[in-house]
A and B are shown apart, each in its own frame.
Chain A
């Protein structure tokens, strides 16, 4: 029955409660899905349907024209579109890798080690989450230009390696999922700290860093380079696509195709990671299913 059937029937589950939950989920799902369905539908609308009155929610004569127009425009791009694509892939993958490594190393130490300054660092991490990023942008520009990274990939990659939210997330998961006794047992067995981190901590908190990967991907995927990167051949795919989509009513169809393409990539990443998370939960015997 439409997914309402519980993962396992527990005594504590009443049918009435199931119905309440189902009603809430259905209402919520409709609210969440409508604009997305609309975005998908729009991408396949011919130009005249985009400006019809009264406006139609669903497409009547679906067409691929918006996409072919987009590809034609891509082909005319001065810098080949594959270059923008490479730039995005490079920034996202290196940024993500460094982010997960620095964040999880520090999170393990903050969660399971005792050392002078531990409480101070933990406080500092939480406080730093609450400072408006807008004002730190200019000092960071000065730092980056001082190092000489302006107009390089590193200007956007390296600052992404100290994402406090990611560290905080990893720490919460290590706190909750890894018992101190496990670490102590490994130490008694003579495992080095690096080995404990790589062979015990990281495999157990795999759901945490897979979640982190989704979040960081989303952060970095939208990066346009902004004030740091001004060379056209170093700019990213979102920047190039937004340029193609700009251009008033004539490009409205292309714009809706771009919207669909831009949002489908993070969604694919999400689906892949989510299925891995479920898999991990299944094999590690941690709760879940």
Chain B
């Protein structure tokens, strides 16, 4: 139906703001069917995402303990975070380190493995996709790693190392700050071939084969050239999707870390910003303070996303 296509608004006799408003109304009215398409999602989105986010931005400037009405304290939560909360600063350091490694690595793993798997025959491809995707789909199966790295002699790694005489007493893998962060990073990377990996697989399969045939005629010599000049440009939309998943996944990490190194890790060695947020939000019920942490985390992620977007725009062009 032509009613959806925005028609050029008729130029009315009056100019100025009134004319602009009339024009806007006309284009809104012309797109009325579009708004019906958007309505189910965005009305729920407004209630369950926009409203809570706006509320917590406001709350970040208050003291709110969930029992009394919030009191306005201006920038105090933010000042406290940076000047009076040493544990927060540790968590910032840990999160930046953790994200700098797991973010890019998980992203490249997702793309490279999806691309490799796409080169296989369909049946083998389905099997390999399952194998690589399985760790992230299997719920709390990652707790297997706590058995592997268990600190007593029953731990598989300790058992192996002691059996062969590499160590003479069990190593406290998940309690010793020397190893904790590395182990957590290994496990998180193991689980990271999730959403973006699947999307990359589906995206790669959706690229028309005529693109590659045309490329071969145009002088594409090997698969690396094909990747750079044809595949990546065709995948650009999905690449940004994957980047957002990697950014949010690495900056928001908390659950797997708690499951591996416990709710109170030794020397806060694996304490992340998200754990700090959960601690204040769900344990101490200082919602204002927790909201301030969420706002800072949000701004960091948005900034990272903008940088990645710029980088991605340069790739493959």
> B194 CB to closest chain A CB, in angstroms?
8
Which B residues are in CB contact (< 8 Å) with A29?
Answer: 128, 131-132
User: Are the C-beta atoms of B198 and A128 separated by less than 8 Å?
Assistant: no
Measured as residues with beta carbon below 8 angstroms from the partner, the interface class of chain B is 35 or more
Given known contacts A3-B124, A21-B119, A32-B193, A116 and B5 CB-to-CB distance under 8 angstroms: no
Which residues of B line the A interface, CB within 8 A? Answer: 1-2, 4-6, 24, 27-28, 31, 33-35, 37-38, 40-42, 44-45, 47-53, 55-56, 66, 109, 112-113, 116-117, 119-135, 137-145, 147-148, 153-156, 159-160, 162-163, 190, 193, 195, 198-199, 202-203, 205-209, 211-212, 216, 220-226, 234, 237-238, 240-241, 244-245, 247-248, 252, 274, 277-278, 281-282, 287, 290-291, 294, 297-298, 301-302, 305
Task: Beyond the given A21-B116, A39-B141, A169-B241, please list 8 additional residue pairs across the A-B interface where CB-CB is below 8 A.
Answer: A3-B128, A11-B216, A12-B226, A29-B131, A159-B44, A159-B48, A168-B244, A187-B1
A271 CB within 8 Å of chain B: yes
Which B residues are in CB contact (< 8 Å) with A202?
Answer: none
Given known contacts A12-B221, A36-B138, A172-B238, A132 and B202 CB-to-CB distance under 8 angstroms: no
> A92 CB to closest chain B CB, in angstroms?
14
Which A residues are in CB contact (< 8 Å) with B198?
Answer: 211, 214-215
Which A residues are in CB contact (< 8 Å) with B148?
Answer: 35, 38
User: Are the C-beta atoms of B241 and A168 separated by less than 8 Å?
Assistant: yes
Which A residues are in CB contact (< 8 Å) with B278?
Answer: 134
A287 CB within 8 Å of chain B: yes
User: Are the C-beta atoms of A33 and B131 separated by less than 8 Å?
Assistant: yes
Q: In chain A, residues 179-209, which have Cβ atoms closer than 8 Å to a Cβ of chain B? A: 187, 190, 192-193, 197, 207-208
Which B residues are in CB contact (< 8 Å) with A267?
Answer: 130, 134, 137-138
CB 8 Å contact bits of A50-79 with B (1 = contact, 0 = none) = 010111010000000000000000000000
Given known contacts A162-B44, A207-B205, A12 and B247 CB-to-CB distance under 8 angstroms: no
Quick check: which of A83-91, A99-107, A228-236 contacts chain B, the rest being far away?
A99-107
- Per DSSP, chain B at the interface is helix
Residue of B at shortest CB range from A211?
Answer: B202
User: Are the C-beta atoms of A38 and B144 separated by less than 8 Å?
Assistant: yes
A197 partner, pick from B37, B156, B216, B277, beta carbons under 8 A: B37
Residue of A at shortest CB range from B236?
Answer: A176
CB 8 Å contact bits of A111-144 with B (1 = contact, 0 = none) = 0011110000100101111111111101110010
Given known contacts A32-B193, A287-B205, A115 and B27 CB-to-CB distance under 8 angstroms: yes
Q: CA of A26 to CA of B42 in the docked complex: distance in angstroms?
A: 44
Q: CA of A101 to CA of B207 in the docked complex: distance in angstroms?
A: 25
User: Are the C-beta atoms of A134 and B277 separated by less than 8 Å?
Assistant: yes
Closest 7 CB pairs of A and B: A3-B124, A263-B138, A115-B31, A136-B52, A139-B52, A106-B41, A162-B44
A158 CB within 8 Å of chain B: yes
> A274 CB to closest chain B CB, in angstroms?
5
Residue of B at shortest CB range from A133?
Answer: B252
User: Are the C-beta atoms of A25 and B113 separated by less than 8 Å?
Assistant: yes
Number of interface residues of A (CB under 8 A): 103
13 A–B pairs (Cβ distance < 8 Å), ordered by A? A3-B127, A13-B119, A32-B131, A33-B131, A36-B141, A109-B37, A128-B53, A168-B241, A169-B199, A262-B140, A274-B130, A275-B126, A289-B122
> A96 CB to closest chain B CB, in angstroms?
15
Given known contacts A130-B248, A134-B281, A39 and B138 CB-to-CB distance under 8 angstroms: yes
Residue of B at shortest CB range from A269?
Answer: B137
> A240 CB to closest chain B CB, in angstroms?
14
User: Are the C-beta atoms of A116 and B27 separated by less than 8 Å?
Assistant: yes
Q: CA of A230 to CA of B2 in the docked complex: distance in angstroms?
A: 50
Given known contacts A172-B241, A192-B1, A289-B122, A131 and B53 CB-to-CB distance under 8 angstroms: yes
User: Are the C-beta atoms of A259 and B140 separated by less than 8 Å?
Assistant: yes
> A23 CB to closest chain B CB, in angstroms?
10
Q: CA of A277 to CA of B204 in the docked complex: distance in angstroms?
A: 12
User: Are the C-beta atoms of B40 and A266 separated by less than 8 Å?
Assistant: no
User: Are the C-beta atoms of B156 and A55 separated by less than 8 Å?
Assistant: yes
User: Are the C-beta atoms of A54 and B159 separated by less than 8 Å?
Assistant: yes
User: Are the C-beta atoms of A193 and B305 separated by less than 8 Å?
Assistant: no
User: Are the C-beta atoms of A55 and B138 separated by less than 8 Å?
Assistant: no
Given known contacts A7-B121, A121-B42, A132 and B28 CB-to-CB distance under 8 angstroms: no
A250 CB within 8 Å of chain B: no
Q: CA of A201 to CA of B54 in the docked complex: distance in angstroms?
A: 34
User: Are the C-beta atoms of B206 and A17 separated by less than 8 Å?
Assistant: no
Given known contacts A28-B113, A267-B134, A274-B129, A131 and B298 CB-to-CB distance under 8 angstroms: yes
CB 8 Å contact bits of A263-289 with B (1 = contact, 0 = none) = 100110011001101100110001111
A108 CB within 8 Å of chain B: yes
Given known contacts A39-B141, A114-B31, A132-B298, A176 and B237 CB-to-CB distance under 8 angstroms: yes
Q: CA of A4 to CA of B117 in the docked complex: distance in angstroms?
A: 10
A222 CB within 8 Å of chain B: yes
Q: CA of A267 to CA of B302 in the docked complex: distance in angstroms?
A: 33
> A72 CB to closest chain B CB, in angstroms?
23
A152 CB within 8 Å of chain B: no
Which B residues are in CB contact (< 8 Å) with A33?
Answer: 131, 134
Given known contacts A55-B159, A172-B238, A207-B202, A103 and B41 CB-to-CB distance under 8 angstroms: yes
User: Are the C-beta atoms of B48 and A162 separated by less than 8 Å?
Assistant: yes
A177 CB within 8 Å of chain B: yes
